[in-house]
């Protein structure tokens, strides 16, 4: 059996779904159940990573370092991970997360900006953390560029590098092209993080595994930005059918999914017209909530905002552009009328 390592991202990517309002009690309960199910890595932070609680990205109900502490108390044999985007999170945030008990960090950059991760990767490695490079919006760069940037993260000391489909825009062939190239030229583990905006998260994750990825992400009940991530309980069952070893108890994950669906998920993680458009246009999955708010404020269609953002190749960290685009559309409509 081929061994795979799954990182559960519901307590990080799922933060977008609940408006970053996770409580300590929710984090405690979900972490306890994930650990009991044998999930090796559990990521816990604001949806936009350490330091993400802000006016621009949305304020958290509970400071994410406090949530990390709670998760660590319940983690058992699982490792608590954090996400850090240089420019949002700082070295000081990273040190606080380590002191709180986090032992893995995924340092995330735009797919063409891996060079900004150097200090954070090197610092985390020096602290003794397991360090992962996370190349976001990987659909927006050709495979050769993804490889070039992945090599930088490897050189800085990352023990694994992820191809991250932040927009849920990839087709299985896109995944295969990128993962297989990294597998051929890197000596570290290769990972893949999917979003389900085109209903391809499971298919894309399987394509990644077949191309050589050994680290993959899942989110219970699909809880994540846009139409969500690869549904962990489904992924575990499918991988078991295919003969892969995850070490995760399927029934316990199904029980957790029922709990999350009843007590946390505010609405089903369906592929709405908005989340589909994000995948179709290749737009960062966390933009949907912001686009809906902007659309209501300016009286325009959120889908038009997302398509225009895709045309402008707007990336994570440029959320201010959502308001600008919505305002320009409203002004244009008025001038035409």
Mean pLDDT by 10-residue block, N- to C-terminus, for the chain (337 residues)?
94 95 98 98 96 88 97 98 96 98 98 98 98 97 98 98 96 98 98 97 98 98 94 98 97 98 91 90 83 92 91 79 91 75
On whether 217 is known to bind a ligand per the annotation, the reply is: no
Please measure the distance between the N-terminal and C-terminal CA atoms of the chain and give it in whole angstroms.
Answer: 64
Give the per-residue SS3 of 117-155: HHHHHHHHHHCCCEEEEEEECHHHCCHHHHHHHHHHHHH
Domain 2-263 matches domain 286-336 at the CATH topology level: no
Q: Which pLDDT score, from 0 to 100, does residue 114 have?
A: 98
The string over 179-194, giving b where at least 16 C-beta atoms fall within 10 Å of a residue's C-beta and e elsewhere, is bbbbeeebebbbbbbb
Contacts of 103 (CB under 8 A, 6+ apart): 79, 80, 81, 128, 129, 130
Q: Which pLDDT score, from 0 to 100, does residue 218 have?
A: 98
Domain ranges for the chain, please list them: 2-263, 286-336
2-263 CATH: 3.20.20.70
Q: Which pLDDT score, from 0 to 100, does residue 140 have?
A: 94
Half-sphere exposure of 275 (CA within 13 A, CB side): 23
On whether 166 is known to bind a ligand per the annotation, the reply is: yes
Cα 97 to Cα 88: distance, rounded to the nearest angstrom: 14
Torsions phi, psi of 192, nearest 5? -145, 135
On whether 13 is known to bind a ligand per the annotation, the reply is: yes
The neighbouring-strand residues paired with 136 are 110
On whether 193 is known to bind a ligand per the annotation, the reply is: yes
* Residue positions annotated with a catalytic role: 16
Cα 318 to Cα 238: distance, rounded to the nearest angstrom: 36
Q: Is it true that domain 286-336 has CATH number 1.10.8.60?
A: yes
Cα 200 to Cα 212: distance, rounded to the nearest angstrom: 18
Cα 208 to Cα 11: distance, rounded to the nearest angstrom: 23
């Amino acid at each position: 059996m081929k061994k795979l390592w799954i990182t559960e991202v519901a307590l990080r990517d799922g933060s977008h779904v609940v408006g970053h309002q996770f409580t300590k009690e929710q984090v405690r309960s979900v972490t306890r159940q994930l650990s009991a199910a044998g999930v090796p890595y559990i990521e816990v932070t604001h949806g936009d990573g350490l330091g993400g609680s802000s006016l621009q990205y949305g304020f958290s109900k509970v400071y994410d370092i406090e949530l990390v502490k709670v998760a660590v108390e319940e983690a058992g044999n699982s490792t608590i991970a954090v996400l850090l985007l240089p420019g949002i999170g700082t070295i000081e945030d990273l040190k606080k997360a380590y002191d709180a008990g986090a032992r893995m960090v995924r340092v995330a950059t735009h797919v063409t900006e891996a060079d900004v991760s150097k200090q954070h990767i090197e610092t985390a490695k020096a602290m003794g953390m397991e360090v992962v490079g996370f190349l976001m919006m990987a659909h927006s760069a050709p495979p050769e560029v993804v490889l070039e940037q992945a090599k930088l993260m490897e050189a800085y000391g990352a023990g694994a590098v992820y191809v991250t489909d932040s927009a849920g825009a990839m087709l299985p062939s896109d995944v295969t092209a990128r993962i297989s190239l990294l597998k051929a030229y890197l000596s570290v583990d290769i990972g893949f993080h999917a979003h389900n905006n085109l209903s391809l998260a499971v298919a894309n994750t399987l394509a990644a595994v077949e191309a050589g990825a050994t680290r993959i992400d899942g989110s219970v009940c699909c809880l994540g930005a846009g139409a969500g991530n690869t549904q962990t309980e489904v992924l575990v069952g499918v991988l078991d059918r295919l003969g892969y070893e995850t070490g995760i108890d399927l029934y316990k994950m199904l029980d957790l999914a029922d709990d999350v669906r009843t007590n946390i998920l505010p609405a089903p993680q369906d592929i709405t017209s908005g989340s589909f458009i994000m995948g179709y246009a290749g737009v960062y999955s966390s933009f949907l909530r912001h686009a809906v708010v902007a659309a209501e404020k300016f009286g325009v269609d959120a889908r038009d905002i997302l398509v225009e953002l895709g045309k402008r190749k707007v990336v994570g960290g440029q959320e201010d552009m959502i308001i600008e685009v919505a305002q320009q559309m409203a002004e244009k409509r008025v001038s035409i009328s």
